[in-house]
């Protein structure tokens, strides 16, 4: 194992906690059927991939949810509330970890995100922690909806490499999705799977970072 010089962190369930069960229940409450096939951690409808890549607007996304729910009367607020049910928040202590890391390593954020979730997440850290956005913790932040690319596609990792000049073999990538880690590993990154039991603090301690 080469010495780690750089760290790339995912956002959801690494820094900002999320709960897929909550959003699935919220979608059911909107009238959406076959929710497990529609949206999940390991697979989802192409609608969500397109939204993550910024290929469709928030307005187009909401219209697609109305169509899927077969209810054109759903308000923007109802849809946003259901979609944001996924988002729990940043637990105390996470930002302190990030502040410590950035004094020792080149640190980057690489997140599959979208227009609605991004706005909610930024409001959360502003309101709760008086943090303007994640740029204070990282040398650069990479969000899928602003890049036109999303994990696990190799192209998004290659774009990060190109823009940062990092060496993958000297870089630890921490994510909560095995499919994202598989792509990163194939490109030469060192990887760690973030779980409830083995969270960000666990991996930082294990790698003595």
Q: Which domains does the chain have, with CATH numbers?
A: 6-17+89-206 (3.40.50.1000), 20-84 (1.10.150.240)
Residues 182-206 have pLDDT tens digits of 999 999 999 999 999 999 999 999 9
Give the whole-angstrom CA distance, residue 59 versus residue 28. Answer: 20
* The overall pTM is greater than 0.75: yes
| 95-147 pLDDT, tens digit each | 999 999 999 999 999 999 999 999 999 999 999 999 999 999 999 999 999 99
Burial of 15 (0-12, 13-18, 19+ CB in 10 A): buried
Alpha carbon distances (Å) from 78 to 24, 165, 167, 184, 194? 14, 43, 44, 36, 31
How many CB atoms within 10 Å of residue 95? 18
Q: Which residue has the tokens 């897929």?
A: 20
Q: What angle do CA 190, 191, 194 make, to 5 degrees?
A: 155
């Amino acid at each position: 194992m080469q010495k780690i010089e750089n760290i790339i962190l995912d956002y959801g369930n690494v820094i900002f906690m999320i709960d897929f069960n909550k959003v699935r229940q919220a979608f059911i409450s909107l009238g959406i059927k076959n929710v497990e096939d529609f949206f999940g951690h390991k697979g989802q409808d192409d609608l969500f991939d397109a939204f993550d890549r910024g290929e469709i607007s928030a307005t187009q996304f909401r219209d697609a949810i109305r169509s899927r729910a077969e209810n054109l009367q759903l308000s923007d607020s109802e849809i946003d509330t259901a979609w944001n049910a996924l988002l729990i928040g940043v637990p105390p202590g996470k930002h302190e970890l990030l502040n410590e890391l950035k004094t020792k390593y080149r640190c980057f954020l690489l997140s599959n995100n979208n227009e609605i979730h991004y706005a909610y997440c930024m409001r959360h850290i502003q309101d709760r922690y008086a943090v303007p956005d994640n740029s204070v913790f990282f040398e650069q932040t990479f969000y899928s909806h602003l890049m036109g690319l999303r994990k696990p596609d190799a192209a998004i990792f290659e774009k990060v490499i190109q823009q940062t000049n990092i060496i993958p073999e000297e870089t630890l990538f921490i994510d909560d999705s095995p499919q994202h880690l598989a792509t990163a590993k194939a490109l030469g990154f060192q990887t760690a799977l973030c779980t409830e039991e083995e969270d960000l603090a666990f991996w930082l301690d294990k790698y003595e970072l």
